[in-house]
Structure 1
Amino acid sequence: MTIRSNPPGALVEVDGERIGLTPVSMDFTYYGTREISLSAPGYETMTLLQPVPAPPGQRFPIDFFTNHFMPRKVTDRHDFTYNLVQRGMPVDEESDLINRARNFRSQAEVGGVIQPQQ
């Protein structure tokens, strides 16, 4: 199983175990739903439940024959790519912060007393 992220370099945890930084690959021994968590500085942490489906040859009862009587070993690879969302202030909070900063600057230039805002 290979996990990639946009941007690359996010820390990956699968089922609570740290795997490494993206892009990262790991072996797995069973199919099912895995909990994947990606985190990177400046981005929202993403935690999701990712189904890892079994191929038709690995489903009961066919899996007995493919595991024991196939002349070659079957390798199953899964590749998952996730887009991380950049963390930031909402637009209205950002404009409020800019207005407060301008007010602070103008009061400092004039020499006025700065009143804390509620």
Structure 2
Amino acid sequence: MQTRPGPPTRRLAVLTLALISLAAAGCVERRYTVRTDPPGALVSINGEEAGISPVSVNYEYYGDRRVTIQAEGYETINTSVPVRAPWWDNALTGFVSENLIPFTLRDERDFRFTMAPAVTPPTGDLIGRGLQLRQQSLQPAPQRPGSFWRFFAF
């Protein structure tokens, strides 16, 4: 018994599926690295410890990141770092770049921060500020408007 080849539409569908599955091998890798001068500072991103600088973090989504950098003997850095999408990874082209390009696209960012040495205020300034706060705390509280029940003449 001789087998007949399938109809041309069936072969075309199988060939199309095979090509799509081959083309879907691509992906996008996203990573940013936080470097500090001097190195060795503790880096927190969005409230979570990322590690000791230099530290690299993989991510999925673009947007602003809250970065906190701390090191002994240096001023703490609190800042917001914008991570914007490249032209090839936006709402219109994202599907193509994520699924149909047959190679890996890489989006690597590098953020550098220079830390300033910590400045200790003179002892006299600290004592003066403490006395000023004590005087403010000893002042009587300002009068509040009447309570809720006063509105009803109670």
> Normalising by structure 1, what TM-score?
0.74
Q: Which residue, out of 44, 49, 72, partners 1:41?
A: 72
RMSD: 1.4
Q: Which residue, out of 17, 36, 40, partners 1:9?
A: 40
Q: Please list, as runs of the form range in 1=range in 2, the aligned pairs for 1:21-100 lying within 5 A after superposition.
A: 21-89=52-120, 93=122
Percent identity over paired residues: 35
Q: In the aligned structure 2, how far is the partner of 1:47 from the partner of 1:88?
A: 17
Q: Which has the larger radius of gyration?
A: 2
Q: In the aligned structure 2, how far is the partner of 1:73 from the partner of 1:14?
A: 26
Q: In the aligned structure 2, how far is the partner of 1:13 from the partner of 1:89?
A: 24
Query: Aligned letter for 1:3?
Result: V
Q: In the aligned structure 2, how far is the partner of 1:61 from the partner of 1:26?
A: 26
**Offset of residue 89 of structure 1:** 3.4
SS in 2 for 1:76: strand
| Structure 2: runs of 5 or more not aligned | 1-31, 125-154
**Offset of residue 66 of structure 1:** 1.2
**Offset of residue 54 of structure 1:** 0.8
**Offset of residue 16 of structure 1:** 0.5
**Offset of residue 84 of structure 1:** 0.7
**Offset of residue 25 of structure 1:** 0.6
SS in 2 for 1:26: strand
SS in 1 for 2:97: helix
SS in 2 for 1:58: coil
Runs ≥4 residues deviating over 6 A:
none
SS in 2 for 1:77: strand
| Structure 1: runs of 5 or more not aligned | 97-118
Count of matched residue positions in the alignment of Structure 1 and Structure 2: 93
> Normalising by structure 2, what TM-score?
0.57
- For residues 72-107 of structure 1, what are the alpha-carbon distances to aligned partners after superposition, in whole Å with 9 as ceiling and x for unaligned? 1211101000011111235xx48x8xxxxxxxxxxx
